Structure 1
């Protein structure tokens, strides 16, 4: 099993969710986060005063899939979330040793 962690722009969430559902992903966890990378923030003007915004709003997706699906899920996220502009996000893929469904006690891929 693989854990895919992706950070994307907030306005891309629904489009990515629809693409992943069509690709066979049965569930995901979504968190609103703030961070910076190459963007390193920006300046905004509010009521005539300029101020720095050091952290940019992002969405973090956490998806656990069978190892055989990982490459297609990464490709789906990458293609759907891409705008071609700085700050499109990052995708990380990690190994998962075990998964347990609390309600039924199922383990491994059966718990997904």
Structure 2
């Protein structure tokens, strides 16, 4: 199993979510996060523009069986990319075990 973590633009979340559903990824968690990056984000307060390095993004955490890894990453890459600085990052790591709390069942079948 693989854990795929993606940090994407908040404005791209719905498109990414739809792309993930199209490839069969129907379960994941997400958070609104703030981070620092190469991109500067502008804000207007009382008519005055301010630039900050604090960037608002959406963080996705997805665990898939190995055979879904490529399709999941491709769905995120294709749907989240704008070609501009700040499109985000994808991180992939191994998951050694998964348990369904309700039944105690373990393994890849718990992801279905």
Partner of 1:64: 63
**CA distance in structure 2 between the partners assigned to 1:34 and 1:63 by the alignment:** 19
Kindly state the Cα deviation for residue 90 of structure 1 after the two structures are TM-superposed.
0.3
| Secondary structure at 2:37 match in 1 | coil
When you count strand as a share of all residues, which structure comes out higher?
A: 2
| Secondary structure at 1:63 match in 2 | strand
Equivalent positions of 1:38-49 (< 5 A) are: 38-39=38-39, 41-49=40-48
Q: Deviations over 1:33-90 (max 9, x none)?
A: 0112221x34434224443422110000000000111011101100000111110000
**CA distance in structure 2 between the partners assigned to 1:4 and 1:50 by the alignment:** 36
Change (3 A) 1:43 1:24: closer
Using the TM superposition, name which of 48-57 and 10-19 deviates more. 48-57
Partner of 1:55: 54
Partner of 1:3: 3
In angstroms, what is the RMSD of aligned CA positions?
1.3
**CA distance in structure 2 between the partners assigned to 1:37 and 1:51 by the alignment:** 16
TM-score scaled to structure 2, two decimals?
0.91
**CA distance in structure 1 between the partners assigned to 2:30 and 2:3 by the alignment:** 13
Task: Give the number of equivalent residue pairs.
Answer: 111
Partner of 1:13: 13
Structure 1: 5+ residue stretches without partners: none
